[in-house]
Amino acid sequence: MKSICILGSGMGGSVLALSLVKKSNIKVTIIDCDSLNNSFRSDTCLEKKIEEQFQTVGYGFGGTSNLWHGVLSKLDSEDFMYSDNVKSELDLQTTKISQFFGDISHLDCKKNQFKSHQLGKCINLNKLTSKPYIVQPLPTRFRKKIKEANKIKTNLHIIENSVVVKLNTLTSDEVKSVEYIQDGVIKHFSADIFVVSLGALETPRLLFQSFKGTNLFNKNIGIGLMDHPVAIIGQLEISKKIFYTQHGVNSLSNKASNRVGFVIPKSLRVNKHLNHSIFIRPGSASKDVELCRKNIRSLVYNKISIKKVISILLNKNLFLTVIGLISEKLSLGSYTNKFLLSVQLEQDSSSGSSVEVTDAIDSYGRKIPKIHRKYSNDLFTDLDNIKTILKGLLKNNSTIDFFDVDFKDLDDASHYSGTCRAGKSINDSVVDSNLKYHSVNNLYVCDASIVPKIGNANLTITIASYASRLSTHILKLVKLNE
């Protein structure tokens, strides 16, 4: 029986484990700092030295942070620049991963399949390219799915409350074991194949700590950190109120809310390679744009508590923001003539953002990463261009009050990626098209760090598709070696 050790159980690790344990000839072991039965221990989170203060999500089984809100979408065709065959192969995984997310056929809708947008009489949205999204009523919780599988699958083993420190190599091209700490004790675990699924910040940390100074180290590790900076850029006001079902698709009869966003066609872009998205949401920024941003940040990044609920009830602006977000979540619709325009910006992997490690060691023996975040001036050039485009689309006395946006106004989407990107050559990537680490025969990476171009969409479906595809590859590999 072949043994597979998955380090971390984020989105990629969870989908991979649940796909592999269906086969009785494979023993799957997950090592994670989380616990299946207890609340997440924040003290096991990776310490980070960051050039500027920003929020990061928690780790754990399937992304158990309160920030993971169940938005599903796909990358666009142009985002698969590095390999011609990967997009078609990932598309083939749609049926397989629907077992985790339900009906996701809406994500394959073409532009002409969408109903006319409700704001079509006020703004000529046909000049933009529509993009489908799904918002799940309740996000898929892989903690629950792994817990259920752990009860019935004898070939699934969970090592929880454990912090992965480094990989130990047996030969010049093979990993022998992983070193981890559990309850203060240093332990080792051996397997035939290792898969790292720790995320775009900790995966490069592990590879740095394991291979730096050896011939197995890859110079591209940590280079090209990307995220989706988000900004509210203006308020659209139309001549009369309408009952608006979020993003133009009425989906009250569906289990999930099918939404439509927009992207800028290449012909209208200043920077042709940057693929940003635009969202139109009911809401008003009133006279205090910064207050609106502050309210949204508070709701997204802070955990729910009695104190927080009371503060929401006592704060009119915050309460109205909550009502708007709940309406959006449930696709209830809003009767309004005011809409907030927001953008999810694509960062370029060459912008200079990166992850490296310092000489400092945390209490678990992990080297503390230093994270450099840089925004390209291209983002602000594109923001000005997007404003010009939207202004030119207005009709029937509609107006847009555009806001000034600076670096401080860009919020993190916490979709960090690109730090161990996939590619064809060891010269410009860390893993190959099958997600195998270039210099090691039995080491794979399966998380957001392998995504070479982040696009404009949430990465949930993309990572799940990569994981499903990797499970197929590993099963073929195991069969060949039987």
For residues 234 and 180, membership in a common domain is answered with: no
For residues 366 and 469, membership in a common domain is answered with: yes
In this structure, the number of other CB atoms found within 10 A of the CB of residue 477 comes to: 15
Predicted pLDDT at 69: 60
CA 164, 454, 40: angle at the middle one, nearest 5?
Answer: 35
High-pLDDT (> 70) share of the chain, %: 82
Q: Is 84 inside any structural domain?
A: no
For residues 304 and 194, membership in a common domain is answered with: no
Which contiguous run of DSSP H or E holds residue 220? none
For residues 362 and 403, membership in a common domain is answered with: no
> Which whole number is the average pLDDT over 16-40?
90
Q: Is 250 inside any structural domain?
A: yes
Q: Which of 10, 9, 4 is nearest to 25 (CA)?
A: 4
For residues 24 and 125, membership in a common domain is answered with: no
For residues 167 and 27, membership in a common domain is answered with: yes
Q: Is 87 inside any structural domain?
A: no
Q: Is 385 left (phi over 0), alpha (psi -120 to 50) or beta?
A: alpha
pLDDT value at 290 more than 70: no
Confidence of residue 302 (pLDDT cuts 50, 70, 90): low
Q: Is 241 inside any structural domain?
A: yes
* Cα dihedral value 11, 12, 14, 18, nearest 10: 130
Confidence of residue 78 (pLDDT cuts 50, 70, 90): confident
For residues 148 and 131, membership in a common domain is answered with: no
For residues 256 and 156, membership in a common domain is answered with: no
Task: Considering only CA atoms, give the Rg of the chain.
Answer: 23
Confidence of residue 63 (pLDDT cuts 50, 70, 90): low
pLDDT tens-place string over residues 176-197: 999 999 999 999 999 999 999 9
Q: Which residues contact 23 (CB under 8 A, 6 or more apart)?
A: 475
- Token code pair at residue 366: 């992990």
For residues 325 and 360, membership in a common domain is answered with: no
User: Which range has the worst mean pLDDT, 52-61, 175-184, 266-275, 317-326?
Assistant: 52-61
Residue 219, helix vs strand vs coil: coil
247/358: higher pLDDT: 358
For residues 306 and 261, membership in a common domain is answered with: yes
Q: Is 93 inside any structural domain?
A: no
Domain limits for position 434: 2-69+140-225+352-373+417-480
- DSSP for residue 437: B
pLDDT tens-place string over residues 422-477: 998 899 999 999 999 999 999 999 999 999 999 888 888 999 999 999 999 999 99
Asked if 439 and 215 touch (Cβ cutoff 8 Å), the reply is: yes
- DSSP for residue 463: H
CA–CA separation, 99 vs 369, rounded Å? 36
Predicted pLDDT at 211: 96
Considering its fold, how many domains does the chain have in total?
2
CA 427, 377, 345: angle at the middle one, nearest 5?
Answer: 80
Q: Which of 199, 352, 341, 225 is nearest to 276 (CA)?
A: 341
User: Which range has the worst mean pLDDT, 53-67, 141-155, 460-474?
Assistant: 53-67
Q: Which of 369, 403, 364 is nearest to 186 (CA)?
A: 364
Q: Where are the beta strands (DSSP E) in 246-378?
A: 257-263, 277-282, 334-344, 354-361, 367-372
Is the sign of the CA dihedral 208, 214, 217, 222 positive or negative?
A: positive
Q: CA separation (Å) from 339 to 92, 248, 292, 342, 384? A: 37, 12, 13, 10, 19
For residues 160 and 242, membership in a common domain is answered with: no
pLDDT tens-place string over residues 88-141: 888 888 889 999 988 888 888 776 566 677 888 999 998 999 888 888 877 788
For residues 305 and 405, membership in a common domain is answered with: yes
79/317: higher pLDDT: 79
Whichever domain contains 179, its CATH number is: 3.50.50.60
pLDDT value at 246 more than 50: yes
- Token code pair at residue 248: 């133009």
User: Which range has the worst mean pLDDT, 211-225, 258-272, 274-288?
Assistant: 274-288
High-pLDDT (> 90) share of the chain, %: 48
Q: Which of 472, 480, 477 is nearest to 89 (CA)?
A: 472
CA–CA separation, 234 vs 339, rounded Å? 9
Q: What are the phi and psi torsion angles at 425 (to 5°)? A: -125, 145
Give this prediction's pTM. 0.89
β-strand pairing of 156-159 with 26-31: parallel
Q: Is 22 inside any structural domain?
A: yes
Q: Is 89 inside any structural domain?
A: no
Q: Is 74 inside any structural domain?
A: no
Q: CA separation (Å) from 361 to 177, 194, 219, 430? A: 21, 24, 22, 24
- Of 389, 409, 429, the one marking the end of a domain is 409
333/83: higher pLDDT: 333
CA–CA separation, 97 vs 326, rounded Å? 27
Predicted pLDDT at 270: 94
pLDDT tens-place string over residues 387-425: 999 999 999 999 999 998 888 778 777 788 999 999 988
Residue 95, helix vs strand vs coil: helix
